[in-house]
Amino acid sequence: MRIPFIDLDRIYRKVKDNIDNAISGVFGSQRWILGPEVEELERTFSDSIGVEAAVGVASGTDALLLSLRAQAISRYNRQFFRRDEYIITTPFTFVATAEAIIRSGATPLLVDIGEDFNISVSEIERAVLSYKNVVGILPVHLYGCPADMEAIMDIASRYDLFVVEDCAQAFGARLSGRCVGGFGDFGAFSFFPTKVLPGIGDGGMIACRDKRNRDILRALRNHGGIDKYDIEYIGYNSRLDSIQAAVIAVYLGYIEEFIKERQRIAEAYISALSGIDNLILPKAEKGNVFNLFTLRLSHPLDRYRVCRELNARGIGAGVYYPVLINEMQGIRDYVVVSGDLNQALKAKDEVLSLPIFPYMEDEEIEYVVDTLRAIVLS
């Protein structure tokens, strides 16, 4: 049996007619960029998150970057941060998180993570007290599991910091009944095809609390101004395509089903794999949307050996993420580390992600479980 890490075609086939009709409508209108489909998606998206407004952009990375730029403009009345200003984030994430901070002009201040792989609240506060010029916090809801936003927002309030949430992997995740992306000043989302809410290429969305920031974001995504011949800011070409918005809107209509499917598979994995020595499983918390199902293989299990053997037997397992941000050769000179990163260092050597995607069949789940058990118990 061959089981891919994610089967995009299987998801598409479930909604094929609706997607084909949506795409056909865009071809009929010939309004390819920031058309009515984008405006409608922005309205629907903001309603689903529970925020004042949403702004479509070209990628999840741009969603992070434009959110930070908008903070510099609205909060400090300047277009970029300074290199001696710190934004606290996690070292255990995709490079886009730190990349956006650096491109906004600031310096990523990396702190350790907790058992759920998300940024440690206690380490955030320690960093705030240890460094001058901390201006903001950029938590990541890693693998679809919400970070402790209530505690993070409490710290932000006490120390007058802004918060931009990296929600790339966590559309639909909830904490105390609230959607991630609706806690901070901004929530940055990705529509990369492997995400919980997928698109058909790169695309992103920014959830924001007020219309002034919405207007700044709209200008930034459009070369820096509404009037293209008299721009207000140094901007970007980061407009969401109409055809992307039309497809994402279709998938958004099925999002509750997609999330329930991911949670069903995660619960099956957890139930079947519980009790195996040196196998540490994620918790089946209701707010987790399981963009990735990531477990840990502690010593003496060899994570890479297990991954290779799963792959050899047709199972698309993978490692997310094997290198910390501060270890990356192109970025390490632009970041600062606060304290030790013991938990992040441990996690990067132990994590392994199993296939999880809507409409996985029971026999596929059983094959993954049986194969993994055979490998780790041999």
* CATH number reported for the structural domain that contains residue 117 in this entry: 3.40.640.10
Core vs surface per residue 204-229: b (16+ CB within 10 A) or e: bbbbbbeeebbbbbbbbbbbbeeeee
Extract the tokens encoding 42.
Answer: 């922005």
**What pLDDT, in 10s, does the model give residues 234-270?**
999 999 999 999 999 999 999 999 999 999 999 999 9
Is the same domain home to 204 and 288? Answer: no
pLDDT tier for residue 285 given thresholds of 50, 70 and 90:
confident
Residues 108-116, mean pLDDT to the nearest whole number: 97
The DSSP bridge pattern shows strands 178-179 and 174-175 to be: antiparallel
Domains of the chain: total: 2
**What pLDDT, in 10s, does the model give residues 147-204?**
999 999 999 999 999 999 999 999 999 999 999 999 999 999 999 999 999 999 999 9
Q: Which of 252, 272, 291 is the last residue of a domain?
A: 252
Q: Tokens 């460094």 sit at which residue?
A: 131
Asked whether the whole model's pTM tops 0.95, one would answer yes
Range of the domain at 279: 255-377
Q: Would you say residue 237 lies in a domain? A: yes
The residues that bridge with 295 in the sheet, in sequence order, are 352
Whole-number Å distance between alpha carbons of 167 and 173: 9
Q: Would you say residue 1 lies in a domain? A: no
Asked whether the predicted pLDDT for residue 104 surpasses 90, the reply is: yes
Q: At what angle do helices 242-252 and 36-49 cross, to 10 degrees?
A: 40
Q: What is the pLDDT of residue 227?
A: 85
Is the same domain home to 130 and 265? Answer: no
Is the same domain home to 267 and 194? Answer: no
Is the same domain home to 291 and 236? Answer: no
Q: Which of 252, 277, 306 is the last residue of a domain?
A: 252
- How many angstroms separate the Cα of 312 from the Cα of each of 33, 302, 316? 43, 15, 9
Is the same domain home to 312 and 196? Answer: no
- How many angstroms separate the Cα of 323 from the Cα of each of 101, 121, 142, 275, 337? 18, 22, 15, 29, 15
Residues 15-29, mean pLDDT to the nearest whole number: 95
Is the same domain home to 208 and 283? Answer: no
pLDDT tier for residue 3 given thresholds of 50, 70 and 90:
very high
Q: Would you say residue 80 lies in a domain? A: yes
Is the same domain home to 125 and 83? Answer: yes
Q: Would you say residue 13 lies in a domain? A: yes
Whole-number Å distance between alpha carbons of 320 and 205: 23
Q: Which of 219, 236, 252 is the last residue of a domain?
A: 252
Q: Would you say residue 3 lies in a domain? A: no
Is the same domain home to 180 and 67? Answer: yes
Is the same domain home to 40 and 152? Answer: yes
The residues that bridge with 209 in the sheet, in sequence order, are none
Q: Would you say residue 62 lies in a domain? A: yes
Q: What is the pLDDT of residue 314?
A: 98
Is the same domain home to 214 and 152? Answer: yes
Whole-number Å distance between alpha carbons of 307 and 292: 15
* CATH number reported for the structural domain that contains residue 324 in this entry: 3.90.1150.10
Whole-number Å distance between alpha carbons of 286 and 126: 30
Average pLDDT of the chain, as a whole number: 97
Whole-number Å distance between alpha carbons of 196 and 289: 8
Is the same domain home to 216 and 102? Answer: yes
Q: Would you say residue 198 lies in a domain? A: yes
Residues 36-40, mean pLDDT to the nearest whole number: 96
Cis peptide upstream of residue 300 (ω within 30 degrees of 0): yes
Asked whether the predicted pLDDT for residue 286 surpasses 90, the reply is: no
Is the same domain home to 191 and 60? Answer: yes
Q: Would you say residue 212 lies in a domain? A: yes
Of 210, 352, 225, which is closest to residue 281 (Cα–Cα)?
352
Residue 341, number of CB atoms within 10 A of its CB: 23
